[in-house]
Structure 1
Amino acid sequence: VVRRCRPRVTAVLILVCLTFLSMLWMDWHIPIFSPLRPYKETILAVSKSAACHKSNTSKCTAHNVSIAPKSTAYNVSIAPKCTAYNISIEPKCTAYNISIAPKCTAYNVSIAPKSTAYNISIDPRCTAYNISIAPKCTAYNISIASKCTAYNISMAPKCTAYNIPIVTKSTAYNVSIASKSAAHNTLNASKTAAYNISGTQNFTANIHKRVHDATPYVPHNSSHDLVLWAGCKVPVYQPYGPDVKQFIKKLPPHKCSRQPPLIKVERDVLTLNTALLEKRKEILSNCTYEAINRVSEDKINYSKPVVFNSSVRLQADFIRVRCHTRSESSKEELVHTELHPILTKKQDVEDKLQSRMEQFLNLTTKNSGTRSQPLSIVMVGVDSVSRLNMIRHLTSTRHFLLTQLQAIDLINYNKVGQNTFPNLLPMMSGKAMTDFNRSDFSNHHMDTLGISFLWDELKSAGYRTLFAEDWPGVAIFNYVKKGFKNPPAQYYYRVLELAKEKNSKLFSESHRCFGTQPNDELVLNYTLAFQRLFRDKPHFGLTFLTRSSHDDVDGYHTRYLTRLVQEGLVKNTLFVFFSDHGMRFGGENAARLVTPFDIHATLLDVLYRVPGVRRNSTSGVQDPGISLFDEIPANRTCTDAGIPLFYCVCVNTRELTASSSAAKKAGTALIATLNAAVTKANVTDKCHRLQLSSINKAVELRGAQQYLRKQCLSVRNYTVEGSVYRMTVVARPGDGKFEALMSRCNGTSDFVIYGDLDRTNKYGNSSYCVNDSFLKKLCLCK
């Protein structure tokens, strides 16, 4: 989802901020909501003249448009004695609506039942263009100010209905617009100068127009699929549909103690809260602080403790503070331990970055012809939140993004892998998991595999970089992987999180609270402090939260976003709010297939200022990513976009009974494949042999054979025979739930597993006896 943030207007100039919201996957990885955008149409001027009055029949000019007796203006059959647009209107008449009863005389004009007024496909449940519109009717996103009704979406006084300047008192249709008016004319030239990122103001406006104007209207309660093109029909699900409503629960937020900390840190100054000690009736014995240092990706150490009394200036990235006190009444000795990040500018780093930025600006000035301040990039992600779950549980965050930051929604953002890593890898590098051997990541550090990550490019360009996660044990690049040999960012929060794990007694509420504060909020506050520190310098931040439930993080993110806006920290910044995938356990582009590869290509365009420049610089080879500043083809397929069939939304389905012959054979073959993988890995002495317990679901994928022909040819030199099935089975012992695509190649009765295998329920520590990430999904340790 791409979003634009509307800048604040000062007395001197308009400061523009670009906000960029990364799309969240829905439960089936298919987003379903976006603002309505009318398709191309002809809008004719409205006049207060007596045109078309009963007494002016001979020269009837409906809306100042000369209409012949058989004129089809507005797709309305107008009788010779045209009384078109007489003011008397039946209150319930759905003027301009598609579904109009034969007797409905909208504007006293006889309209045929199938009249397609304005040639706009509108959900029949929503009387778009109707005078009486229900409060929840979201046709054309009708939040319309009283004085501005022209297709407007909560616009400022200079209402720009579809980017058409309209005066404050403009009434709908009071603008003469030709049929090919720029009102609905998107910029189709993929690399037109309009998208040359040479000036922040134009850059912001053009991105918003290009991506936002093309968004089709898909209401939450629509039962219609969204057709992207003839071969791609995306199912639309209701966030509160009857099939899921019973499972939706609003969890109460975890309550941390919210006691003020004993130690206060501002920039690099540490201060003891003596007033709090007096309030607690405690007497201070001594306080010490220790710097927390990174030894390796998974190891830290502490410097020698330094005693301080009231305040001290520090030179460290992270510190541990211990204060010994005793109670005035019981004389009991108490130990207070706190961990804090210290965010300061690193002079040696600043000196290097300044020269790099100067060189980079010279390069981009040569390419774009304009020298201007580069955009900062800040990305905030939340683990396992589908798009529908964002609608259900991140209500205030979503509302803030859409209303305050004018966010743009990429409704068909499609994941390309099962979990976090295979979706973040292409976003950050342009590379796919299939570019590597499975063992590469478990045997080698990420920064020794020849991968040029986005932050590497940004550091070379003179950007300050931050990378923060809240759970080191399951971190994106560390879970069953070796992580990084050297810190990937100049401000690397993992060091503090490792220290938190070693001081686990400070965690409470199932690791939701650390000390007196919510842990998620601590991470977001670190990101906020980073943005404050470098508000006038180009910077990049990637923050990813994993621990908390949806209802918890809603308030944290809303407060974080509010502070960004209040403090002006979103100016000149590209902001990305995203998730990696939905829950597994338990312009034109807004409506087209978009993937993490495309986000990566877009960020490169932001960096290099001119669309297409160095598009593949971080991947080394041609990747399927298309920048959102270029037009994504309307007929783009999953193969074109780099989306494996297993995750492709462009496939029609038909459910089979679990007792069908095909389902039984495919389910049995799936379990046999799992056992074969365990045998091949030589861990049969550690893992139970699995058997088919039941078939949860068997779905035929129609038209999927084309994706699998290459698979059959490469494995057996055969072609695909018959259908492809998405199988969901339960294995025993252990009740593990597995999902995979199964197909049968011509010339053999054997089913072949295609693409990824997904474990759809939690397996916890049941696979403790193996370390390989793939085997952990399959193995039930003996």
Structure 2
Amino acid sequence: MPNAIHDLKRLGYLIDTPACRMLEYDPFDASIKKFIGEPLEMDCNSDKLSPFTYTEGFRIKINDDPKLLQHYNVSLDSLACCVHEVTRVSQNLTNFDESCDNKYTTSECYAICNGASKEVATDGALVVCSRNESKSGPFYKNVHYFFHEDKIRDKIARHMERIKSHETLPLNFILMGVDSTSRQNIRRFLPETFKFLSDDPSSMDFMGYNKVADNTDVNISPVIMGNRAEDLMRFKLECYKKQKSNHDSCPLIWKNFSARGYATVYAEDAPSMGLFHFNKIGFVQPPADFYARPYMLLSEKEIGNPKANNNHYCYGLQSTTEVVYEQILRALNNLSDKVPVFGYFWSATYTHDSNREAAPLDYPTLRFLKQFTQSSHRNNTILLFFSDHGLRFGDIRSTYLGALEERLPFATLLFPPWFKDEFPETWRNLLVNQRRLTNNYDIHCTLLDILHGAYNTSLNLKTPYGLGQSLFLEIPTNRTCESIGIPWHYCACQSSSPTSIGASEVQQAAAILTQTINKLIENYPVCAPLTLKEIISAREYQNHQNFGQGTVKKKIWKVEDIHSDNRDCTSI
């Protein structure tokens, strides 16, 4: 029935402070179970093949495993492989076109065969293998990624001086983001990953991490630039003055890390959906020392399969997310013994459009985390595994819990095992903050502490607008959404209960809503005035806010869904 009221399986509260209560509930609660769907099955390497080409250092070699040669029905004598070096096309900040961040060139063919190899001078290369004298075309393609040190020689020299003078060495910092993924959906479809992180004694799960705005742009820019979400939406930022402006002048946090000698890396798995590229130009010049976009564009074109909406699930024998994970490990393996590394990595292909499509990422993510934690990098790296928001569309959004988890992305910090013993007060604060209201601005402030190596005594730096607080400091219990820049609409600190759609307050709220919409469209002649047909559901909210000695509970009636007899007004 449209007006049926489901009883939630309440498990208590994730956050329970005088100013904020966040509901804890079963991720498979009856009210949302039918909208979750079955896990997507996707295997980019169902035959469990090893790559036909691989890298050693900066060289590309052919895998001469007899089983692999048999699979491809080829011998080393009948084989012709070409290596094409890939170079991003350079343009000038004073003279560029709108496709400046989508242009790259591939070199002429460098042939490798009969055990030969090719040393690659660029950070990316395409390999194409065919059978000699065959007209059937290539039987194998792959794109390989590299991290050449030439461009960061000055940073390496600076780091060597630090080592000689016995300075405290900076920690690497890795931002690993997965688009549109709530903490609840990690529990649903990445259960092994969630368990691994939960069991790690050096990880911090920020259960009250609340987004500050709607989509990716306005939730990630506060993290990496410290700006207010509203400034981005209103084009108030200098580097966002126009929708078609380039973003080279944006105050990206890794520029600060670069100035302190960090090698910087930027990679996204879905080029068309990039943070600075969806309906935008992107960058005229590379925004980081190592910028994966040209090679991701090439991968999309040459080895992308099968298609997932506007993107590809696989790049060759790997999922697009696995390619990103591999780049994290390669960056750390190749660079971190010579220079500290700051990396911004983002995966959107699997998770952007559906909760269930996250399922194929559980094993690759678990494997990546195991590789990372078992490596030497664990001892000198802080890793943030996080998202921008939960799923923003689909039928689950019509439910109360679906709307709630859309506001609550996941955010987990993974620290070196020695961190808690070296900085016990900071560790105590982090433990407390796991169950406090936190947001994007807090992560930015924490990055500022990490930038300055302020682990023991936080510098308590703020964003340019005074928002946020380092997670190395204890978050106060009187913190409200309003006080830290989270609009009421996105605030998850709200106790609520379903209420009868026949209640007089609900009828009045629906009437006011209809009148308000009609007021908004009255200047559009093609839009017919709306009349209320049906109220589907309603909830009564109690917004907890701390004032002086007591807590005021403000009742807010929210009509969650109404139907109208009139046609859609599509011209607004």
Range into which the TM-score falls when normalised by the shorter chain:
0.7 to 0.9
Alignment partners' CA distance in 2, 1:403 and 1:518? 26
Alignment partners' CA distance in 1, 2:507 and 2:452? 56
CA contact (8 A) 2:52 2:63 kept: yes
Q: Does 1:546 align with 2:345?
A: no
Of the candidates 39, 43, 47, which is equivalent to residue 255 of structure 1? Answer: 43
Aligned equivalent of 1:615: 461
Gaps of 5+ in 1: 1-219, 708-721, 737-777
Instruction: Classify 1:535/1:221 alpha carbon distance in 2 versus 1 (closer, same or farther; 3 Å).
Output: farther
CA contact (8 A) 1:268 1:342 kept: no
Shift of residue 348, structure 1, vs aligned partner: 3.3
Shift of residue 554, structure 1, vs aligned partner: 0.6
CA contact (8 A) 2:155 2:263 kept: no
Q: Does 1:513 align with 2:356?
A: no
Q: Cα RMSD between the aligned structures?
A: 3.5
Alignment partners' CA distance in 2, 1:485 and 1:696? 49
Aligned equivalent of 1:393: 189
Amino acid paired to 2:447: L
The residue matched to 1:603 in structure 2 has which SS?
helix
Q: Does 1:528 align with 2:326?
A: no
Amino acid paired to 2:21: K
Considering fraction of residues, name the structure with more helix.
Answer: 2
CA contact (8 A) 2:122 2:148 kept: no
CA contact (8 A) 2:460 2:469 kept: no
Amino acid paired to 1:354: A
Alignment partners' CA distance in 1, 2:275 and 2:123? 22
Amino acid paired to 1:665: A
Alignment partners' CA distance in 1, 2:190 and 2:233? 37
The residue matched to 1:308 in structure 2 has which SS?
strand
Aligned equivalent of 2:447: 603
Gaps of 5+ in 2: 1-7, 90-98, 236-240, 351-356, 395-428, 548-553
Q: Does 1:333 align with 2:136?
A: yes
Shift of residue 262, structure 1, vs aligned partner: 2.7
Q: Between Structure 1 and Structure 2, how many residues are aligned?
A: 484
The residue matched to 1:571 in structure 2 has which SS?
helix
Of the candidates 310, 315, 320, which is equivalent to residue 121 of structure 2? Answer: 315
Alignment partners' CA distance in 1, 2:487 and 2:194? 29
Of the candidates 297, 303, 313, which is equivalent to residue 498 of structure 1? Answer: 297
Whichever of the two has the greater Rg, that structure is: 1
Aligned equivalent of 1:271: 61
Alignment partners' CA distance in 2, 1:226 and 1:344? 42
CA contact (8 A) 1:470 1:519 kept: yes
Shift of residue 321, structure 1, vs aligned partner: 2.0
Deviation per residue, 1:555-584 (Å, 9 max, x gap): 110010111122222111111111111122
Instruction: Classify 1:694/1:386 alpha carbon distance in 2 versus 1 (closer, same or farther; 3 Å).
Output: farther
Q: Does 1:237 align with 2:237?
A: no
Alignment of 1:270-669 (within 5 A): 270-275=60-65, 276-277=68-69, 280-282=72-74, 284=78, 286-295=80-89, 297-309=100-112, 310-326=116-132, 332-336=135-139, 338-352=141-155, 354-355=157-158, 371-404=167-200, 406-436=202-232, 438-439=234-235, 440=241, 442-448=243-249, 451-503=250-302, 506-508=304-306, 510=308, 511-536=312-337, 537-548=339-350, 549-586=357-394, 587=429, 588-610=432-454, 611-613=457-459, 615-616=461-462, 619=463, 621-658=464-501, 660-669=506-515
Alignment partners' CA distance in 1, 2:189 and 2:536? 28
Instruction: Classify 1:228/1:569 alpha carbon distance in 2 versus 1 (closer, same or farther; 3 Å).
Output: same
Instruction: Classify 1:347/1:638 alpha carbon distance in 2 versus 1 (closer, same or farther; 3 Å).
Output: same
Amino acid paired to 2:29: G
Alignment partners' CA distance in 2, 1:323 and 1:281? 12
Instruction: Classify 1:298/1:238 alpha carbon distance in 2 versus 1 (closer, same or farther; 3 Å).
Output: same
Amino acid paired to 2:371: R
Q: Alignment identity in percent?
A: 28
Alignment partners' CA distance in 2, 1:733 and 1:476? 39
Alignment partners' CA distance in 2, 1:626 and 1:705? 19
Alignment partners' CA distance in 1, 2:365 and 2:566? 38
Alignment partners' CA distance in 1, 2:282 and 2:359? 30
Alignment partners' CA distance in 2, 1:332 and 1:730? 61
Shift of residue 612, structure 1, vs aligned partner: 4.4
CA contact (8 A) 2:88 2:105 kept: no
Alignment partners' CA distance in 2, 1:557 and 1:571? 20
Considering fraction of residues, name the structure with more strand.
Answer: 2
Amino acid paired to 1:391: R
CA contact (8 A) 1:698 1:726 kept: yes
Alignment partners' CA distance in 2, 1:491 and 1:342? 10
Deviation per residue, 1:516-546 (Å, 9 max, x gap): 2222212211111111112323111121111
Amino acid paired to 1:458: F
Instruction: Classify 1:293/1:658 alpha carbon distance in 2 versus 1 (closer, same or farther; 3 Å).
Output: farther
Instruction: Classify 1:432/1:735 alpha carbon distance in 2 versus 1 (closer, same or farther; 3 Å).
Output: farther
Amino acid paired to 1:260: S
Instruction: Classify 1:259/1:664 alpha carbon distance in 2 versus 1 (closer, same or farther; 3 Å).
Output: same
The residue matched to 1:570 in structure 2 has which SS?
helix
Amino acid paired to 1:596: N
CA contact (8 A) 1:507 1:513 kept: yes
CA contact (8 A) 2:124 2:145 kept: yes
Amino acid paired to 2:293: R
Alignment partners' CA distance in 1, 2:321 and 2:565? 37
The residue matched to 1:335 in structure 2 has which SS?
coil
Alignment partners' CA distance in 2, 1:734 and 1:293? 55
Alignment of 1:10-89 (within 5 A): none
CA contact (8 A) 1:290 1:302 kept: no
Instruction: Classify 1:538/1:668 alpha carbon distance in 2 versus 1 (closer, same or farther; 3 Å).
Output: same
Amino acid paired to 2:117: S
Instruction: Classify 1:403/1:318 alpha carbon distance in 2 versus 1 (closer, same or farther; 3 Å).
Output: same
CA contact (8 A) 2:39 2:189 kept: no
Amino acid paired to 1:546: A
Of the candidates 204, 220, 228, which is equivalent to residue 16 of structure 2? Answer: 228
- Tell me the TM-score normalised to structure 2 length: 0.75
Shift of residue 297, structure 1, vs aligned partner: 4.8
Alignment partners' CA distance in 2, 1:499 and 1:441? 28
Amino acid paired to 1:633: P
- Report which stretch shifted further, 550-559 or 284-293: 284-293
CA contact (8 A) 2:257 2:451 kept: yes
Alignment partners' CA distance in 1, 2:290 and 2:536? 46
Shift of residue 513, structure 1, vs aligned partner: 1.9
CA contact (8 A) 2:81 2:111 kept: yes
Alignment partners' CA distance in 1, 2:15 and 2:117? 63
Q: Higher relative contact order at CA 8 Å, sep ≥6: structure 1 or structure 2? A: 2
Instruction: Classify 1:268/1:691 alpha carbon distance in 2 versus 1 (closer, same or farther; 3 Å).
Output: farther
CA contact (8 A) 1:229 1:635 kept: yes
Deviation per residue, 1:138-178 (Å, 9 max, x gap): xxxxxxxxxxxxxxxxxxxxxxxxxxxxxxxxxxxxxxxxx
Shift of residue 694, structure 1, vs aligned partner: 5.3
Instruction: Classify 1:487/1:734 alpha carbon distance in 2 versus 1 (closer, same or farther; 3 Å).
Output: farther
Alignment partners' CA distance in 1, 2:254 and 2:334? 18
Amino acid paired to 1:318: G
Alignment partners' CA distance in 2, 1:422 and 1:569? 31
The residue matched to 2:377 in structure 1 has which SS?
coil
Deviation per residue, 1:578-631 (Å, 9 max, x gap): 111112222332221111111111111112023444824xx5x24311011112
Deviation per residue, 1:386-442 (Å, 9 max, x gap): 111111211111111122453222221111111222111111111112234534361
CA contact (8 A) 2:42 2:360 kept: yes
